[in-house]
Amino acid sequence: MSDRSIRFTHAITRAPGASVTAGLRAVDTGMPDLALMQRHHAQYVACLRETGAEVIELPALEQFPDALFVEDTALCLPEGAVVMRPGAPTRLGEAAQMAPHLEALYDQVLWIKGPGTIEAGDILTTEREILVGRSARTDALGIAELADLVAPWGYRLREVITPPGVLHFKTDCALLDPETILSTARLADSGCFAGYKLINTAPGEEAAANVIRFNDRVLMPAGFPQTAERLAAAGFDVHLIGNSECAKLDGGMSCLSLRFSPPR
Ligand code: GLY
């Protein structure tokens, strides 16, 4: 089996700006501390870069407070990239800001044109399929449009459900290797991962589910020792990254980068 769902030559990140304090959040758990977030972000970028990948660091976009969460703007596959159409009105313009950076690396950059919406935080790409969670940000029309765009590249897309009250599908799950998924119990209980090996987050550590497998590493938010131990015991090379400030904006490890291997 190939492992292109976990091995990447490139990543794109975007620095948090001062406007991040106005970022979207489901519940107010305190104002993000920009300086601490910048330190965590630098730790995250360094961890990606240490795997040998090229990390393209984009400058902050002050007019878009959530723009550091670049993952939501695009789906990057080996064949091409698809620019998303975010469902949060304040985030809609972020996608067009990302497009030129993808066009510099890919021959094929397609766009979700609407009227549906879709954010790539709701998309989990595995070796065998693309799972898309319908959520408050991602609707049936957006999913259908994505399915049509990626079908010529040979991808099978499966619609699943993001748990109620959860921001994105990948808030609650992550691909650890081509066969193994880390998931919260509330998402795994839906049965959507039948056929995969599963590791559940430890009870009370649901926020640990949003990790990324990036080359030989698993980047994981600090503060979830039982889940970290489960991953280490399963043989994964776990790297803990501070995430306290992004967590105040419902952001995590996957949200902070686009990870891909462009064809040229
Ligand atoms: N604050 C991240 C989001 O709501 O999209």
pLDDT 10s digit of each residue in the chain, 264 long?
Answer: 899 999 999 999 999 999 999 999 999 999 999 999 999 999 999 999 999 999 999 999 999 999 999 999 999 999 999 999 999 999 999 999 999 999 999 999 999 999 999 999 999 999 999 999 999 999 999 999 999 999 999 999 999 999 999 999 999 999 999 999 999 999 999 999 999 999 999 999 999 999 999 999 999 999 999 999 999 999 999 999 999 999 999 999 999 999 999 986
Atom of ligand 1 nearest to the CA of 26: 4
Question: Measuring from atom 4 of ligand 1, which residue has the nearest CA?
Answer: 24
Best residue among 21, 61, 117, 167 to mutate for probing ligand 1, ranked by most atoms within 8 Å of CB: 167
Q: Residue 208 C-alpha to ligand 1 middle, in angstroms?
A: 17
**Cβ atoms 183, 156 nearer than 8 A:** no
A 10 A CB-CB count for 151 gives 11
Q: Where are the beta strands (DSSP E) in 37-152?
A: 54-58, 74-76, 81-83, 109-111, 123-125, 130-134
Q: Residue 202 C-alpha to ligand 1 middle, in angstroms?
A: 24
Q: 10-260 domain in CATH 3.40.50.2300? A: no
Best residue among 91, 94, 246, 248 to mutate for probing ligand 1, ranked by most atoms within 8 Å of CB: 91
For 114, the token pair is 């609407």
**Cβ atoms 241, 219 nearer than 8 A:** yes
Q: Give the pTM.
A: 0.98
